[in-house]
Amino acid sequence: AALGAISTLDQPSLQPLFAELGLSAELPVPVRYARFCDFEGVRSLHLVLEVDGQPLTVFVVPDQNDFPQANTSQFADARFFGQSLKTAKHLLVLVAQQPQLLVKAGPLLAKSLKFNI
């Protein structure tokens, strides 16, 4: 259902979701889906962004001690390509059907997400 979402969410409605995770953001691409979910037992924010007309899934996971310590890791299966990016306080997990979307998304998110102190 998340990948099929077509309506765009406005930035003000997203801010309370980001704030719950200690973030603020002004994303320069349309956001089609935003809900909290369970990501490996951790309450996380599940977003679907539209990048170059294609869906890009982003999970914003609060940092946990048992997550991998590498700053970046990549993964794939027959349908999806993924990448995880570790920040000081969160793990960002990006998933897309086109690997080039991951290349664009990393810098886009790095510029757009602000971590509140």
Give pLDDT tens digits for 59-108. Answer: 999 877 665 555 568 888 888 999 988 877 888 899 999 999 998 888 88
Which pLDDT does position 68 carry in this prediction?
A: 56
What is the pLDDT at residue 71?
Answer: 58
Indicate the average pLDDT of the chain: 85
In this structure, what DSSP letter does residue 41 have?
T
What sign results for the dihedral spanned by CA atoms 56, 87, 100, 19? positive
46, 100 in Cβ contact below 8 A?
Answer: no
pLDDT of residue 32: 94
Residue type, 6: I
Q: What is the mean pLDDT of residues 38-48?
A: 92
Q: Which residues contact 7 (CB under 8 A, 6 or more apart)?
A: 32
- Rounded to 5 degrees, φ, ψ at 53 are 80, 5
Instruction: Give residue 65's pLDDT.
Output: 63
What pLDDT shows up at residue 69? 54
Q: Which of 21-35, 53-67, 97-111 has the lowest mean pLDDT?
A: 53-67
Q: Higher confidence at residue 99 or residue 6?
A: 99
* Distance (Å, whole) CA 81 – CA 77: 7
Question: What is the number of H-type helices and E-type strands within the chain?
Answer: 2, 8
Asked if 55 contacts 81 with a C-beta cutoff of 8 angstroms, the reply is no
Q: Which helix (H) or strand (E) holds 56?
A: strand 54-62
